[in-house]
Amino acid sequence: MIMHLDMNSYFATVEQQCNPYLRGKPICIAGKGKNERTVCAAASIEAKKYGVKSGTSVWQAKALCPSIQIVPADYQKYQFISRQVFTLLEEYTPKIEIFSIDEAFLDLNHIKTYTEAAVLADEIKLRIRTEIGDYLKCSVGLAENKLLAKLASEKQKPDGLTIIKKDEVVTILEETPIEEICGIGRQLQFRLNQLGIRKVAELGRYPLVNLIKLFGTNTGRLLKQMGQGIDFSYVLPYFEFPAEKSFGHSYTLPSDISDPKEAQKVLLNLSEKVGRRLRKKGFFGHTVHIYLRFHDFTSFSGQMTTHSIQDGFEIYQIGLKMIEEVNSPKPIRLIGISISNLSQEKDITQALLTYDQKRERLLEATDKINDHFGEFTIFRAALTKIKNRIENIPDGRNKRIM
């Protein structure tokens, strides 16, 4: 038996938990302030009644709901609450898969009946409200696999508990639109609708040979299984995650910039965050990738392989070399930088030169201070004007040890 727990309107509800003034009001969580170009990262339960949802632009949100309040995102706060929720869940089973910052799957195969599982779900919901935050709500789904448990948790929001038993699967699949199944995005929904497939059960009845012809062997078989409510994947705890293959950050600018110096500051900020994550996870990287998107949605990408590095400033210097090769005068809309071709620290020869040894000790000391007092307590002077504008960027994969 699998449980899927979904924190409802998570970012918005956390803000309402922390600020009682926002409770009961339509709010939108946005990354770059009230008046700049951005989209809603999350909408409160009250805002959703007006049609505002994740991905809605701020100006559209204001048009749909003139009284909506735009609240800047605070990802460190959301991660802090998530850690508390996941720690609570670990009291019930060690087999927990962190599906996102506000979702988790629990393997409950040690529980024999749905009645017992429902009692446990109610207990978890109550403990979240009483021990973490009385305004926090979650929806829970119980089913025989992850696909159906995720579907069940979507059925009653907010604060619902839905069970899909084995003998109910056929009926539910006949009634459920395909876009409600996890993994069916807009483009795939459109293609399936063109085939006359609108309900999940219709996908399950569609000839496998045709699905393979249209979508390829792997995707075709997966779609067929999804249409039949079949999911062979198991709950994957964080300690079984495959190793990272790259670390990176990108940022869509609040407004297009033409000043190269401003672009360089953004690049430095992103590079420092990449270096910080490398060191936290104990990796060095060798290949730096740069990506720019311009105001007309054309783009530039490049990569450069170098010696093993984990210093954000070195990553920045390599990225800067590639940016300087771009002779386009077009304003920049998005900047991204990442590093791949990773090696673990234990496999890298220690620095021999005195200069390099001093720099490593400096980075280690800086990391310790920032770990204790918060990100960017110590930072390069060049970031003074830019850091507060873009420091709330979520980090990589959502693992238990965020």
pLDDT in tens, 170-199: 999 999 999 999 888 888 999 999 999 999
Of 315, 310, 317, the closest CA to residue 360 belongs to: 310
Q: Does 320 reside within a domain?
A: yes
Q: What are phi and psi of 303, to 5 degrees?
A: -145, 155
- Domain of residue 29, residue span: 10-75
198 and 264: one domain?
Answer: no
273 and 363: one domain?
Answer: yes
185 and 256: one domain?
Answer: no
Q: Which of 18, 49, 75 is the last residue of a domain?
A: 75
pLDDT at 400: 43
3-class DSSP string for 204-235: HHCCHHHHHHHHCHHHHHHHHHHHCCCCCCCC
257 forms bridges with which residues in the sheet?
Answer: 332
Q: Does 87 reside within a domain?
A: no
Distances from the Cα of 74 to the Cαs of 85, 367, 391, in angstroms? Answer: 17, 21, 9
pLDDT at 151: 96
pTM metric for this prediction: 0.69
Q: Which range has highest mean pLDDT (220-229, 289-298, 301-310, 317-326)?
A: 220-229
Choosing from 15, 97, 103, 272, the catalytic residue is 103
pLDDT at 33 over 80: no
CATH number of the domain enclosing 296: 3.30.1490.100
249 and 195: one domain?
Answer: no
70 and 184: one domain?
Answer: no
196 and 316: one domain?
Answer: no
Q: What integer is the mean pLDDT of 321-339?
A: 84
114-127 vs 75-89: helix axis angle to the nearest 10?
140
Q: Give catalytic status of residue 103 as yes or no.
A: yes
CATH number of the domain enclosing 197: 1.10.150.20
Q: What are phi and psi of 57, to 5 degrees?
A: -70, 155
- Residues 371, 376, 379, 382, Cα dihedral to 10°: 160
How confident is the model over 121-130, as pLDDT tens digits? 999 999 999 9
Q: What integer is the mean pLDDT of 245-251?
A: 85
209 and 282: one domain?
Answer: no
**CB-based contact 140:160 (threshold 8 Å):** yes
Q: State the total domains in the chain.
A: 3
179 and 294: one domain?
Answer: no
pLDDT at 383: 64
Q: Does 106 reside within a domain?
A: no
Q: What integer is the mean pLDDT of 94-117?
A: 92
For the chain, give the longest Cα–Cα distance: 70
pLDDT at 380 over 80: no
pLDDT at 44 over 60: yes
301 and 210: one domain?
Answer: no
Q: Does 142 reside within a domain?
A: no
pLDDT at 376 over 90: no
pLDDT at 161: 96
